[in-house]
Amino acid sequence: MYSVADKMERTLREVLPEAIALRRAIHRNPDLSGEETSTVEKVLAFLQDSPLSFRRTERGNALVANLGGDDGERLAFRGDMDALPLREETGLPYASEDLRAMHACGHDFHTAILAGTAKILSQICPDPCRPLRFLFQPSEEDSPRGGSRTLIEMGALEKVSALYGLHLWPELCLGEVATKRGPLMAASDRLTVRIDGVGSHAASPHRGIDALTASAYVATAVQSLLSRRIDPFEPVVLTFGRIEGGDRYNVLAHSVSMEGTCRTFSPDVRDFMEREISGLSCSVAQGMGARCSVEYERGYPALMNDSELAESFLRDRERLLPHLKAIDAERPSMIAEDFSFMAAQVPSLFFWLGCRPAERPLASFPSLHSSRFVPDEAVLEKGLRLFCFLALR
C-alpha cells in the first residue's frame, strides 16, 4: 500500500510537466496589474477536472479555490499573478509576446506553484479532513493599494487559521528556502515633494527663486533624518527615484517635483518619517524663498510572520530534506510585499524561495524587476514540495 508521502511523490511527478507548461504559457502572455483575467482563465483550465470549488470577483481577475467542506478552519495558500510593465530581454523561447509587459518578479512561478499544489492535493486527498483554500491574487505590483485587499474584501480569509505565501528570491540558491519570526519585509510608502519658486533668466538668478537648487538642498537635508534623528538600530531607507523640473537650460526652474519611497519596519518610525519629511522639506524650501508641499501616501505595511508558525516550521525543517534546505533568514528585506495586508488579518508565514543556480554568482545574476530576470525553472518543483509539505504535515 502506498503511503501519503509515496502518493504525493508520484502525483507531483505527474503534475510537474503540466505546471511547467502552465508557467510558460503565463510567461508568454503576461497580464499587468488589474488585467489578470486571461491568467485566471488559464488556471481554471488547468484545474478543470479537479474537485475544487471556485469563486471569482466580478471583474474576474481574482480567484479563490476551495478543497473540502465548508465546516471548520482551513489552511490557505496564496500566489500573485500580475506582471510588470517592462519589455523582456531574456531571449527565452517562451518570452513575452506583449512588448509592454513581462514577468520579471516571478509571479508566473508563484501562480503555477499554487495551481500545481491545488491539483496535486486534490488528487491525493479530494476530501481532506482539514479544508484547504488557494488564493490567486491580482495586482501585487499595484502599490500602494495592492490586490490582497480585493481578496480580503471578498471574504477569502474567513475561517482561515493559517496562511502561507512565497516569493522567488535570487539572493538564495536553488534548493534553499528561508523565513524568520516576526518582520520579514518592510512597509513601503510613497512620497511626492513639490517645490515652487519663481522663474527668471539664468543670467539673472537674483530676480527669481531657483526651485531646482532648493530641491537639491531638500533631498540632502531629509537624509539627515536617517543619520541624526533615528536610532541607528532602526532600519530605514529613504530614496528619491525621480526628479522633474525646469523648461530650458538657461532658465531658472520655477517648479520641481521629486518622487520617492520610504521603507520602515517600526510603526513609530513610520509615523516619525511621515511627519518629519514634510516639516523639514518645507522648512528648507522656505529658507530659500520657495514654497513646498509634500504628499505622503502610505502603502504596504511591514510583513510580520507569525512566531508560532515560523517556530513550528523551523523545528520541522529536517523533514524537508533532501529536497530543500530550510534556513532561518538572517535579516529582513527592505522590499515590500502586499501579502502583509493579509498577514495582519490571520496568522501567516511567508517564505523566500531560492531560484539562482548555485554556480551563478549573485553579482552576475539579474535581480527581481530586471528585464533579464530568468530564474532556474527547477524552482517550480521546489515550490510545489514546500506547499505540499505545509498542507500535508
Give the range among 143-152, 248-257, 266-275, 303-312 with minimum mean pLDDT: 143-152
For 195-230, write each residue's pLDDT tens digit: 999 999 999 999 999 999 999 999 999 999 999 999
Binding-site residues sit at 105, 107, 141, 167, 369
Closest of 217, 213, 283, 284 to residue 253, by C-alpha: 213
Q: Is the pLDDT of residue 320 over 80?
A: no
State the pLDDT confidence band at 58, using cuts at 50, 70 and 90. Answer: confident
Query: CA 121 to CA 129: how far, in whole Å?
Result: 12
Q: Is the pLDDT of residue 86 over 60?
A: yes
Binding-site residues for Mn(2+) sit at 105, 107, 141, 167, 369
Domain segments of the chain as ranges: 4-185+302-392, 187-298
For 248-263, write each residue's pLDDT tens digit: 999 999 999 999 999 9
Domain 4-185+302-392 sits in CATH at: 3.40.630.10
DSSP symbols for 268-279: HHHHHHHHHHHH
Cβ contacts of 77 within 8 Å, gap of 6 or more: 114, 117, 118, 132, 133, 134, 135, 163, 164, 165, 387, 390, 391
Q: Is the pLDDT of residue 298 over 70?
A: yes
Mean pLDDT across the chain:
95
State the pLDDT confidence band at 59, using cuts at 50, 70 and 90. Answer: confident
**Yes or no: domain 187-298 corresponds to CATH 3.30.70.360:** yes
pLDDT of residue 3: 78
pLDDT of residue 2: 59
Counting every residue written for the chain, the total comes to 393
Query: CA 342 to CA 163: how far, in whole Å?
Result: 8
* Cis peptide bond prior to 51, omega within 30° of 0: no
pLDDT of residue 301: 96
pLDDT of residue 112: 98
107-124 and 379-392 helices, crossing angle to 10°: 40
CA distances from 213 to 208, 220, 256, 257 (A): 12, 11, 9, 12
pLDDT of residue 318: 79
Rounded percentage of the chain residues whose pLDDT exceeds 70:
99
Quickly tell me which residue has 480585493 as its cell.
Answer: 150
State the pLDDT confidence band at 124, using cuts at 50, 70 and 90. Answer: very high
For 143-169, write each residue's pLDDT tens digit: 888 999 999 999 999 999 999 999 999
State the pLDDT confidence band at 322, using cuts at 50, 70 and 90. Answer: confident
